[in-house]
Structure 1
Amino acid sequence: RFQVLVATHMNTDNLHNHFVINSVSYVDGKKYEQRRSQYAEFRAASDKLCREYGLSVVEQPKAKEPARYARMREAIDQACEDASTAEDFHRSLYRQRYIFGSDPNRRYATIRARDGGRAVRLYRLGEEYDLAAIDDRLRGNYLLYGAGLYERKHPPRQYTPKRYRSKDTYAGKGVLQIFFEVFFGESQMHRLYLYYCYQLGILPKKQQPHINRPELERIWKDTERILAEHAFVHDHKFPSLQAIVDYRKGLSRQIDALAAQRAEIVKQMRRKDASPKLADRRAMLTCKIAELRKEDKIAEGAIKRIQRTRESNRIDQENRNQHTNNKTRSRDSSRQR
């Protein structure tokens, strides 16, 4: 119903098509209404025509699998090695911080992390990790090891009852000695006494170490920048601050010249008969410009750091001189007295 012109852009690195549509139908005169879903229809129609006439078709690359899928597979493999029943399989996954869902009222079994995140259906992990394959592996473990495989690999902790003080502990001791043992010895009363001292603020509470990771990362980046600036000044052996300024001016001229060359190459690439080597030259110039800009940024940081150091040294020297003058004046005044 609508007239469409397909134009292919071939003078860029990204090969793509443009669709020019006559919005008025030549059949019934109605206006074309565009929907978002029609982009896929345009692409399918274009690919169909390309295949009919033997032209190349750009295939859609497969999406990269999330990294959490591999961790889920490892957790399921470990659970299948440790368990021989469905209950032990759930316990093993829960021990590895995963929750396994196999509700019979639901169509698919799922697995998800205990700390949050969306559940993943087992068939997305592969055929070896669907519910039937897991049941077969658990059944094989049950035939070989029985129902107590998980307890043998992960035995429960043994409970050891506390030893209480015997009745004749304080026999033959004075009242003062018993008082010090109760309140200042290793006893439950002493622990209770310390607990309330901490709660009331009489004894200071032990502060937990706090690691400020963003601050550490900022300090590390500053350290890397300072080392780069020192290496830059040391390698070029600048005799003075003005030499760094002049060197930076030369970098600016080189960057401008390379940028002009790259702009000229970009103009040449827009032509129909452009050489394919122009793209490589443009990429090479881009890399050179990036390196020069990085060096220019390091030089700028070195200049600012030297200026700040000189200013701080000047202020320290003035303070030192002022302190010396004050001491001299006080000494002279004391002599006059």
Structure 2
Amino acid sequence: MATIKLARSTSCSRCINYAEPRSTVKSGFNCDVNYAKTQMKATRMIYGKDDKVQAHTLIQSFKPGEVTPEQANALGYQLAEKVADGHQVAIYTHTDKDHIHNHLVINSVNMDTGLKFQAHGQKAIQEVKDMNDQICLEHGLTIPEEPAKVRYTTAEKSLLEKGKISWKDEIREAVDYSVSRTSDFKSFSELLNKKGVDVKLRGKTITYTHLNANKKVRASKLGSDYEKETI
């Protein structure tokens, strides 16, 4: 069963520095993966867009025993072709957990147009999931029987329709980013705090606080993906 997580970063180099040393197999789409940092930076500099969001990261995970590292990397390359046409993407396959998974680092700036990669909120995540499901089905792999549960209020849905992101979605993105890079609650909490979100665990209840907005929300209000049993 292949699943994905999508996040963004203000440091492309940091994303690559995390993913590359841990990789078993690696490849590059529209770039030489051995020089990915240099080539991606050059593209951003050409268009004068080396600030703010520099990269988007996509975590593609597979059911244990379904694929080899080489097959996983090839599937990651296919996903890069579908998701990030015109962008440079470095695909790193990790085997350090019980499930093989890919870290795709997508350069934020399109090589041909200079436009920024757009992937915000649940709508973008669902589009990527649909593409990933299509690839997996073509290769005979299992996919989730139903989409990950995320709860949206009417106000949040209204913002999404306008192409805007709510403070709750910013928490979701921070959690998605942090949980994919940590293996225990302490390190998860510390990384999440650096992303501007505080997390408190009391029994089975998790409460997140958006530090800039100074607003709190229980995990159950964000969706089951953000509750204790899932993270």
RCO greater where, 1 or 2, for CA within 8 Å and sep 6 or more?
2
TM-score of the aligned structures, taking structure 1 as reference length? 0.20
Query: Of the two, which has the highest radius of gyration?
Result: 1
Which structure has more helix as a fraction of its residues? 1
TM-score of the aligned structures, taking structure 2 as reference length? 0.29
Which structure has more strand as a fraction of its residues? 2
